[in-house]
Amino acid sequence: MILARLSQPADFEGWRDEARRLVGQGAPPEAISWLVAGEEDLFSGDAGVEVAEMEAPAALRVPRAFPELAETVICHRDPERFGLLYRLLLRLQAEPSLLTVATDDDVHRAEAMARTVRRDMHKMTAFVRFREVREEGEEPVFVAWFEPEHFILKRVSSFFTGRFATMRWSILTPQGSLHWDGTSLRMGEGATRAQAPDDDAMEAYWRCYYANIFNPARLKTDAMRKEMPVRYWRNLPEAELIAPLIAGAARQAEEMVMRAPTLPPERHLRQQARMVPAPSTDLESFENWEQAAAAARDCKRCDLCRDATQTVFGEGPLDAPVIFVGEQPGDQEDLAGRPFVGPAGRLFDAALEEAGLARERAYVTNAVKHFKFSLRGKRRIHERPNAGEVQACRFWLGIERQFLKPQLVVALGATAVSSLMGRTMSLSSVRGRDVTLEDGAPMLATVHPSYLLRLPDEARRGEERERFVADLRRIGELVPELKRRRAA
């Protein structure tokens, strides 16, 4: 019999070193006795031999999953875990894909052990309860007691040092203890239940909270006992409440059913009243543009109607040869009820003038008819509409286009492009190209004037403005009717 000694029950590094030496010596699994320091040596004397010191083999190859599996299995209580892992290590040299064979007895047993250890680690992270211990004139220390089934203390320690990094704490178990001073972790000897505190000042508050959030209508005692086994109850402050709460659950559930329904707050009722279903209107519902514009004032097709001041419909002559489509009304447009009257609108007017186009001959509108914003103090900050909001407003944009029947549609910005194309598209993918929409209408795309206002670099802003004006000039070439008439 060959003796292989380990310093402690979950000594993965020691097992790995011993296993490498044993493989180098050619030791078969059945000839090895794995001994943990402190355990009785049944093979002392002539019955066993120590492994001779020798150079570790250089060509031990294992799949990437094996070290993680071995580190977990080594924490199991089964005394045969060391031999099982050594047997797997030997077999992996000839069968590299062994761990993928779930029906193999050794693999199945190792995986079952690993699952049990991981479940025990989960239970410890879930059911450890710290209690405050305060000495006069000293900082408080928080102490917990737990009884793990397996040797998981070292493996689970990183969870507690990360979660409770700013506390000074100790976790006592029969196997050993963990002590954290806020900077370093120390492992100590095992302890007894009597060494851990039974209560602290906060537990009365916790029990009150637990009793008030207990929902008898959702009680499932079998699931509770499975997820929170009875063996852990004595460590939990709320444990003394569980039995009486379960006993009274049926009565409490009946009282909940008999109780009058709780009415929602008034503000929710007002909000619900405003959010009526979208009207089932279509183009045939309106005889003219004026009827459509009037109906749009009461639009509730999306949530934007709740906070906006009003609907901002399009504006311009109904025989306009070109329709310009922006993103959405801004703060000033929302207050005025007219599109393109704010800073971006003024820049747009100036660019049209520079390009020789007549604003009064164009129809201007937006892909979305309500102002979307977030409050920052008293200021309303523009927010880009999402795909659902753009889709909801395509109805109104479609009606405007049907009544106007323009020679050319111009998309100002990516939101307008996506609305007109019916799918999310970038501006760069269509700018400078001749695009035909689904209904056969030609479309050109350029930037939104607000883009020019947001550019911080003055030189870059000048370049982009020139490019924007060039796009507008091309529109004038395609649709001469939009050009400003020269005075005679």
Q: Are residues 302 and 450 in the same domain?
A: yes
- Domain boundary pick from 104, 123, 142: 123
Tokens found for residue 368: 């979305």
Q: Are residues 407 and 308 in the same domain?
A: yes
Q: Are residues 382 and 439 in the same domain?
A: yes
Q: Are residues 10 and 102 in the same domain?
A: yes
Q: In angstroms, rounded to a whole number, what is the distance separating the alpha carbons of residues 472 and 431?
A: 12
What is residue 169's predicted lDDT score, i.e. its pLDDT? 94
| 282 domain residue, yes or no | yes
Total structural domains within the chain = 4
- Domain boundary pick from 195, 212, 237: 195
| 269 domain residue, yes or no | no
276-281: Cβ within 8 A, 24+ apart: 276/300, 278/392, 281/395
Q: In angstroms, rounded to a whole number, what is the distance separating the alpha carbons of residues 391 and 397?
A: 10
| 264 domain residue, yes or no | no
* CB of 456 closer than 8 Å to CB of 466: no
Residues 159/162/164/165 CA torsion (nearest 10 deg)? 150
247 Cα distance to chain centroid:
39
| 266 domain residue, yes or no | no
For residue 415, give the CATH number of its domain.
3.40.470.10
Tokens found for residue 474: 């091309």
| 111 domain residue, yes or no | yes
Tokens found for residue 260: 């009058």
Q: Are residues 141 and 155 in the same domain?
A: yes
What is residue 487's predicted lDDT score, i.e. its pLDDT? 52
DSSP state of 35: E
Q: Are residues 116 and 170 in the same domain?
A: no
- CA 43, 45, 48, 53 dihedral sign is positive
Q: In angstroms, rounded to a whole number, what is the distance separating the alpha carbons of residues 346 and 277?
A: 36
Helices 105-127 and 81-94: angle between axes, nearest 10 degrees: 130
Q: Are residues 104 and 141 in the same domain?
A: no
Q: In angstroms, rounded to a whole number, what is the distance separating the alpha carbons of residues 246 and 337?
A: 61
Q: Are residues 58 and 163 in the same domain?
A: no
| 268 domain residue, yes or no | no
Q: Are residues 221 and 78 in the same domain?
A: no
Q: In angstroms, rounded to a whole number, what is the distance separating the alpha carbons of residues 443 and 418?
A: 12
What is residue 97's predicted lDDT score, i.e. its pLDDT? 94
What is residue 486's predicted lDDT score, i.e. its pLDDT? 60
Q: Are residues 375 and 434 in the same domain?
A: yes
What domain range is 157 assigned to? Answer: 128-195
Q: Are residues 449 and 325 in the same domain?
A: yes
Q: Are residues 309 and 458 in the same domain?
A: yes
- Domain boundary pick from 123, 153, 180: 123
Based on C-alpha coordinates, what's the Rg of the chain? Answer: 38
Q: In angstroms, rounded to a whole number, what is the distance separating the alpha carbons of residues 392 and 250?
A: 48
| 456 domain residue, yes or no | yes
Mean pLDDT by 10 residues, the chain (488 residues): 90 93 90 84 50 55 94 95 95 93 95 96 91 80 92 94 93 93 92 84 77 76 75 74 80 75 72 52 74 91 90 96 96 95 95 95 96 90 92 93 95 96 92 92 96 93 95 95 74
pLDDT digits (tens, 9 = 90+) for 29-58: 999 999 998 765 544 444 555 544 545 554
| 488 domain residue, yes or no | no
Residue (of 206, 208, 204, 218) closest to 246 by Cα position: 218
What is residue 25's predicted lDDT score, i.e. its pLDDT? 87
What is residue 284's predicted lDDT score, i.e. its pLDDT? 59
Q: In angstroms, rounded to a whole number, what is the distance separating the alpha carbons of residues 128 and 46?
A: 46
